[in-house]
Amino acid sequence: MTEAKDGNRSLGAVAAVIAGIREMVRSRELMPGEPVRQQDMAARLGVSRVPVREALHALETEGLLLHRPNQGYFVAKFSADQLNQIYLMRRLLETALVEHISWPDEAALGAITGINDELARAAEEGQIGLVVQLNRQFHEAIFGLSPMETVHQEISRLWDLSESYRAFYLAGPSRHRTAAEHEEMIEALRKQDLARLLDVMDRHRLEAQDEVGAMLGGATLTGLGRVPAAEER
């Protein structure tokens, strides 16, 4: 019994460290390319170095952190071309996923709307970390309407990879436009208009991709792998 309790406590500590590091990335306390030191994280999060070490390894496995021998862990840093490839994979997979959603009932639609209302308030108040978190929740709520769990898991992995760059994008004026574009998605869900939903989501991604690419000083590839609207297929 004691071993089970200790194991649960250990897993809980690791999960807490993972959540803490994610929040630091979302709030831009940790920037792309910045080192993530075990001792510093242990002190900041009030835990021993053991769960920090396990959390760093887990975050490296999913791609949010990179590990360099004899140097330690760093927040993953991507070139404009690498990010464009991530967005390309997102477009293809998210389109396939959304094509198989079950339309939400009023309760589910109300929950999605509630998330976006919170996001709009957080955007007005400049709570960037909360905006990033709620933006993710909004999209995950839509993805969760599809039974394609394996595709959903891969999409989530791609979102994890680009979390720090999304925080950059949503820190600027774009966070206000994000809530308005989400309202368009909600309206498409309400009217069960798949073509409109795909079109708005595609435009939503491309705008983010262009802005992030511009911040990195690289040319974007928004035409690469463009997914045709439903009426074109």
So what's the pLDDT on residue 165? 81
Mean pLDDT of 71-88: 89
Q: How far is CA 98 from CA 69, 86, 198, in A?
A: 40, 18, 8
Count how many Cα atoms sit within 13 Å of the Cα of residue 202 in the half-sphere of its side chain.
Answer: 20
Average pLDDT, rounded, for the chain = 86
pLDDT-derived band at 200 (thresholds 50, 70, 90) equals very high
For the question of whether the overall pTM of this predicted structure is more than 0.85, the answer is no
Q: Is the per-residue pLDDT at 231 higher than 90?
A: no
Q: Give 53: exposed, middle or buried? Use CB within 10 Å, 0-12, 13-18, 19+.
A: middle
User: For 77-105, what is the HEC assignment?
Assistant: CCCHHHHHHHHHHHHHHHHHHHCCCCCCC
So what's the pLDDT on residue 209? 85
In this predicted model, which residue has the larger pLDDT, 190 or 63?
Answer: 190
Secondary element (H or E) of residue 130: helix 128-143
| Cα of 74 vs its chain's centroid, Å | 18
Mean pLDDT of 91-118: 97
What amino acid occupies position 159? W
Q: Does domain 2-75 sit in CATH 3.30.1240.10?
A: no
User: Any idea which fold 80-232 has?
Assistant: Four Helix Bundle (Hemerythrin (Met), subunit A) (1.20.120)
pLDDT-derived band at 227 (thresholds 50, 70, 90) equals very low
- pLDDT tens digits, residue range 145-192? 999 999 999 999 899 888 878 777 787 777 888 999 999 999 999 999
Parallel, antiparallel, or unpaired for β 35-36 and 72-75? antiparallel
Q: How far is CA 202 from CA 77, 85, 90, in A?
A: 24, 15, 10
Looking at the chain, which residues constitute the CATH 1.20.120.530 domain(s)?
A: 80-232
> DSSP label at 177?
H
Sign of CA dihedral 38, 39, 41, 47: positive
Phi, psi of 124 (to 5 degrees): -65, -35
Q: Which of 230, 174, 229, 172 is nearest to 207 (CA)?
A: 174
- pLDDT tens digits, residue range 23-48? 888 777 888 889 999 999 999 999 99
Looking at the chain, which residues constitute the CATH 1.10.10.10 domain(s)?
A: 2-75
| Alpha carbon distance 200, 204 (integer Å) | 6
Spatial strand order in the sheet of 65-68: 35-36, 72-75, 65-68
- pLDDT tens digits, residue range 202-211? 999 988 888 7
Q: Give 175: exposed, middle or buried? Use CB within 10 Å, 0-12, 13-18, 19+.
A: buried
Q: Are the C-beta atoms of 198 and 184 separated by less than 8 Å?
A: no
Q: Is the per-residue pLDDT at 3 higher than 80?
A: no
